[in-house]
Structure 1
């Protein structure tokens, strides 16, 4: 790895006898959007805080452009915590300008950047309001603007879509796509798995501090158990019950859902179906990210 890759390499963290992270390993390439998903307490926020240097890892390393991340490089990261970390009684525009100035941006440029992000998020008319006077959704927009105000080279966002209405979700999604298109690696965690599936080119599923599945959603689907739904118009029931390597998951009317064991030949299943009657459909059942998540986290198989 190199270039603009962000690498998390075998990072571990313990609190007494509790393993918060167990050799957490993944990478996000230039222009990649990585979805970080897992249950509460799985280790997502701990990982993000270690990337930012808020927490120290017990072992392992975080690298950016092939080098260990230090104080200077962390200034190039835009971070959005799940808990809102801004000043509740400070004006929105003044707050964004202040944060930009902390990153070394001159006053005039800081004001221009603040105005740009406030306009993009539809908050220009609220620019003089205190943060506490905004709705939770608008506070979330300001929090993201604070992460973006210094034009970061990496984005690390903890639950950025929480509390947003559908229009705000669309705006924020477009912002993340544009940042990725400009070459910025983006990591975000979310419990909204439909958004993760729609936005991310790679996904990591975390359980009890360990990465249990990682890769493009398509590859994770391909690695799951093979399932099919077959329609035989007016065909007999029970035609698949005795097929080698085939488990019948359920039947309804002319349709049967089956699961194939490793090594089972789907063409043999199709041939058996055709011997039973005219096959109207032979459709692979591709699991959603939510189904993959349940399987990885709980060991459940969704039917």
Structure 2
């Protein structure tokens, strides 16, 4: 897939969010989109996914089907989890009737099959958004902050899912502000700033795990500080009492 001189602005008189972006992402590739809030990361992802059309330039050789997961899944809809995912499978012309059940089970949505979308927690709604994107077996998977709101088990699933898509020759684009990039070794980086996108080096393929101990009351702050410093927090667990 190639972004060829892509520019975008919201409205004919609006400021340019992105200007003359030209990037390539080969089959089997992963790119992590980095940058401060408000610089255009989500806009770039929506252009790549086909949700937005460029104001100038073109996205070429976009593979299909496309799986798109926005940062916040629009859960204010009058469907149950089962009903919504079955409807999305029909819209995407998924031939395998078992595909919905596979992702419901894998993402831990089985207890919520009969629950209406509006009654779900943010994290569970995000899982529904992820499931609908994966049901058709996407050749292009675009994830806007996929770890946001997910529980630890679901966060750990994301790298495996990305690996499965790319192993099959698909392309994955992921935005990240939590410092989770280390979960996707081998991914290239696209840094968005000032309306431009700068490609960077691939993330390291080998990592080391270091365990640290902090007071339980400080665990959340310590994990946030480590992520902000660019480290991947694999797990936070309480020490068993003796």
Scaled by the length of structure 2, the TM-score of the pair is 0.77
Counterparts in 2 of 1:192-211, with a 5 A limit? 192-193=178-179, 195-200=180-185, 201-211=187-197
Structure 2: how far apart are the matches of 1:217 and 1:26? 18
Counterparts in 2 of 1:132-151, with a 5 A limit? 132-151=118-137
Aligned partner of 2:4 among 6, 9, 12: 9
Aligned partner of 2:110 among 124, 127, 132: 124
Structure 2: how far apart are the matches of 1:76 and 1:48? 15
State the structure with bigger RCO (CA 8 A, min sep 6), 1 or 2: 2
Change (3 A) 1:82 1:163: same
Shift of 1:197: 2.8
Counterparts in 2 of 1:218-229, with a 5 A limit? none
**In the alignment, structure 1 residue 212 sits paired with structure 2 residue 201:** no
Shift of 1:46: 1.2
Shift of 1:206: 0.8
Shift of 1:290: 6.6
Structure 2: how far apart are the matches of 1:148 and 1:32? 17
Which residue does 2:175 correspond to in 1? 189
Structure 2: how far apart are the matches of 1:140 and 1:26? 28
Change (3 A) 1:88 1:14: closer
Shift of 1:138: 1.1
Shift of 1:162: 0.6
The number of residues matched between the two structures is 206
The question of whether the paired residues in 2 share the 8 Å contact of 1:8 and 1:26 is answered with yes
**In the alignment, structure 1 residue 83 sits paired with structure 2 residue 99:** no
Counterparts in 2 of 1:1-303, with a 5 A limit? 6-15=1-10, 16-64=13-61, 69=62, 76-86=65-75, 88-106=77-95, 109-110=96-97, 112-193=98-179, 195-200=180-185, 201-217=187-203
Higher Cα radius of gyration = 1
Task: Flag structure 2 segments of 5+ consecutive residues without an equivalent.
Answer: 205-225, 231-242
Structure 2: how far apart are the matches of 1:84 and 1:101? 19
Change (3 A) 1:61 1:290: farther
Change (3 A) 1:93 1:136: same
SS of 2:200's partner is strand
Shift of 1:85: 3.0
List, as ranges, runs of 4+ consecutive aligned residues in structure 1 with deviation greater than 6 Å. Answer: 288-292
Structure 2: how far apart are the matches of 1:35 and 1:24? 16
Shift of 1:144: 0.3
Change (3 A) 1:160 1:79: same
Shift of 1:291: 6.8
Structure 2: how far apart are the matches of 1:101 and 1:86? 19
Structure 2: how far apart are the matches of 1:37 and 1:25? 16
Scaled by the length of structure 1, the TM-score of the pair is 0.62
Please provide the CA RMSD for this pair. 2.3
Task: Flag structure 1 segments of 5+ consecutive residues without an equivalent.
Answer: 1-5, 219-287, 293-303
Q: Is the strand fraction higher in 1 or 2?
A: 1
